[in-house]
A = this chain, B = another copy of it.
C-alpha cells in the first residue's frame, strides 16, 4: 500500500480524524484519546495503529504509557498530491466552457 493510500484511508474515518483533532491540541495517551468515544480501548488502539502506519502520528514510550503526537510527514505528502488537483482546478476555472458547464451542473 502506498503512503498516500494509507494516509487518505486513515483520514477517511471520523473517529481517526477526531483523534487527530485532539492531538492537534497536544500530545495525549491512549486512554486520554479513548475517553471521549463510546468505543472500547482495543478499538482505539487499532485506530492509533492505523494512524501510525499511515505516518500521521508518532508515539513514544513513557513507562506504561504511549503518548501520541502528530507527525509531519504524511500531511506534507498529502498536501503535495493535492497540489496537483488545486493547480488543475484553478487552471480549468479560466476556461469558459468549463465554467458554464459547472454552473449548469451545480444547479
Residues of A within 8 A of B (CB): 2, 4-5, 8-9, 11-14, 17, 20-21, 23-27, 58-60, 69-72, 75, 78-79, 81-82, 84-89, 92-93, 98, 101-102, 104-106
CB pair B85–A70 under 8 Å, yes or no, is yes
How many identical subunits does the complex contain?
Answer: 2
Q: Do A70 and B58 form a contact, CB below 8 Å, given A5-B14, A17-B81?
A: no
Residue of B nearest to A84 (CB): B24
Instruction: Determine chain A's interface SS by DSSP, over half rule.
Output: helix
CB pair B84–A21 under 8 Å, yes or no, is yes
CB neighbours of A102 from chain B (8 A)? 58, 69, 71-72
